[in-house]
Each structure stands twice: as structure tokens, then as C-alpha cells.
Structure 1
């Protein structure tokens, strides 16, 4: 097994750029997870644990999943889904990368979560407004800026009446032009975070905080409620 030859973030950007050059803006996820499965890459956001801001939200909110459903967007190797499933939610976790889903099932053989392959830009119709909790962490920002609006809308459309949406993303200033961002990721402005809201999907809390690993990197944690 060979060691990764590049910094994980640099490698991810290179693989993404190759996919974009081939007019395949979402294909780089499978390429990256496949390379990681062969030991030739490291997935930069695969933390080996649930995202700290998700764990923080769970500790603060103490959500009960009894009799409720949850959807984890861009599940990766499953750590966020496992945290939510352990709260009692009937949890569906999806990723566009089949290799990521295989890794999630392998990492969590006794999981209560349902791991499936699906595309955020074209989700199964049965998911429409079907989930009491939707968790989106770093998926929209991993898409080119021109796709983010459509992805944002699809995230919100999976939240059931009375349901909660939690979004965690890297932040960038509203005055930073799109063309100045070399992704991935393509971090979200405050305006982009607010655009998850709809007339019946209200932004009820947004917190901006620095990353413990690099205080120069700011992160959003936003919570929405569907009427």
C-alpha cells in the first residue's frame, strides 16, 4: 500500500478539477473515495468521529429520535449517521459515492442506520418532506458554486413539516467574490446560509465559530425549523 503523495486538500482539489474539466462536477467524490480505499489518498473531511459541531448541537439540544426519521446528506463513511442513529432516529444516510457507502457499512457492521447511494441533486421522490431531522455537513460547499443553489433547495425539500434542518459549513465573507475561491471546498457566505430558509423553513439560529485546528477558518452552524 503506497503512502499518499500529496497533501489531502491539494489532492482533493486536483481530483475535483479533473472531474470539472470533464464536465462531471460530482464525479470527483467517487474518485476520491476510491483512491482512499486503495491507500492512495486521504479524504480530508473523514474525521473518524462525528463532526464536533454536530456533537455540540446534540449535547445542547438533546434531541429525541424516538418515532422520528432522520436523513444524513453526504454520509461519507458514516460517523455522523451513527451519532444520529444512536439517538433513536430511524436514520437514512446517503452519499453519491458507492465506495463511501461500502466503507460506511464496513466501518459500522452493526449499524442501525440505512446506508444508500443517492444523488442530492436528484433524490428519490419518496424522500420529499419525509424526515423529521435533516443533517447537511460540508456537502453543499463541496459542490461548485453554480450548483450550490440547486443543492441547497434539495436539502431543504427533504425536511418534513415540523422538522429540523441542521447545516454545518465552512464560512467565507460575503464580499469575497466567487472567482476568488479555489475549491473544493467552496465555503458558504452568510447569504448562502440564509438561502436554505424558505417561507415555511425558518432560520432559527446561526452561529459562526473558528475551527480549533485553524482559527483563521470560520464555520457556520445553522438550524432551521419547518412550519
Structure 2
């Protein structure tokens, strides 16, 4: 997590994010960070080189999965979460806005079945519309400013298939006051947008709360229901 990183790395990331915002390119700083790292994972604050423990816990407790289901990993970073999902039989697409990150994934996992691609969360490919049975989003929304948040949530929900699942890991805040960031934890009204876009919350777990603040880290499982429109047939005698 960003707040646990060395102060110089925190400062550098905030500076990169601020510069990107000033250019109205809120996600551009990811590629700058990966490129500047020059292969040093210590310079990527979220690169743990292991499956996220909250994802692993969910996967372990939700098996078995139907074979050949399609999964999407949003902002895949260096690929560990995508590989864990693929190992369970999912047909996985994993994307990142950073070409350097995607090349790094392909170098780390040369024999992977995962389809690693460069894509922008703010410009999701149209062919992904309602395509994926399982979508994993971990702390990408909170890395983007509030003025693009509705667009980001809309993009994420648009790729979930009927009866599909979204697993969300994020920081949340108990106030609607805009936080300073990055990261910018999500508010309750922002979380409510997932419901507005047709998802239903199945489970919500709070993993920790930051003492002295209103910030929590949560894992939320959502499902999109396959709503069938019933047409009224005329009565025939």
C-alpha cells in the first residue's frame, strides 16, 4: 500500500500523479513509474511478486469454478494475480495502461496462457462489453481522481457478463469530503454506483481500519443478475 512505502517513493508518486492531473491525463503516470523503475520491482509500490492475499483467500473459498470461464484482470501490474486466476482454469485477459508493465509480465511468464494486453480503463475495448464471467479490480479506481470516477466505474461494470462476478479490493472512506491523494479512497456514494449499474453486493469484508482516520480496506463481491424482460402476451380466447 502506498502509505507503507518509503517517504521518497511516496513523494515521487504523488509528484507524478499531480503532473499527470495538470495535463488532464490522470492515468499517464503509471507508464512513467514503470519505465523509470528499469526492472527494479522495489520501485513499484504494489509489486509484491505474489498473489494478493485477499484475492487468494476468495479463490480458495470459491472453488470449484466452471472450466473455460472468461476472466479479466484490471490494471494487472506485474501479473501475479492474473496467473493465479489462470491456474484455476479461467481463460484470462489481463490489461494495463503501461506498455512497460505488460512487457514485464510477458518476460516474467513467457509460457503463460494469460492474454496480456495494453488497454486503458477509461477507453475499454468495445468487444469486451459484457464478456467476462469474473472481473478482478484491485485498487485501480482509488488511484484515479474523483472527476473520472463515474466513468471508471461505468467501464468496469460494462465488461461483466450476465450472472458474472466482480471482485473489488479497495480503500474506502466514511465521508463524502474529497480526500487528498493518491490514493483517493472511495466513498459510500461512489460504491453505490455499482448498484446503479446493475450489480448486486453479495459479500463485503473489512480487512483493516486505519487508526485515527475514516479509511478502511474492503473486499466486496458483486454479481450481475441476468434479468429477463417479460413481455405481456395478449389474452386469446
TM score, norm. by length of structure 2: 0.85
- Whose radius of gyration is greater, 1 or 2? 2
Q: What are structure 2's unaligned runs of at least 5 residues?
A: 1-5, 226-237
Does structure 1 residue 133 correspond to structure 2 residue 131?
no
RMSD over equivalenced CA pairs, Å: 2.1
Q: Give the direction of change, closer, same or farther, for the CA distance of 1:76–1:210 in structure 2 (3 Å limit).
A: same
Q: Does 1:147 align with 2:148?
A: yes
d(CA) in 1 for partners of 2:79, 2:21: 26
Q: Does 1:177 find its partner at 2:173?
A: no
User: Any idea what the Cα deviations from partners look like across 1:49-73, whole Å, max 9, x if unmatched?
Assistant: 1111111111221251512100000
Secondary structure (helix, strand or coil) at the match of 1:147 reads helix
Question: Is 1:72–1:92's contact at 8 Å kept on the other side of the alignment?
Answer: yes
Q: Tell me if the contact between 1:91 and 1:113 (Cα under 8 Å) persists in the aligned partners.
A: yes
Of stretches 191-200 and 66-75 in structure 1, the one that deviates more from structure 2 is 191-200
Instruction: Work out the CA distance in 2 between the residues paired with 1:57 and 1:44.
Output: 23
* 1:9-32, Cα deviation, whole Å (9 max, x unpaired): 222111111111222211101111
Whole-angstrom CA distance in 1 between matches of 2:126 and 2:155: 11
Equivalent residue, structure 1, for 2:52: 51
Which stretch of structure 1 is more off in the superposition, 39-48 or 137-146?
39-48
Following the alignment from structure 1 to structure 2, what is the Cα–Cα distance between the partners of residues 72 and 104? 13
- Give the equivalent residue in structure 2 for 1:192: 190
Asked if structure 2 preserves the Cα contact closer than 8 Å seen for 1:193 and 1:222, the reply is no
Question: Aligned residue pairs: how many?
Answer: 219
**TM-score, reference length from structure 1:** 0.89
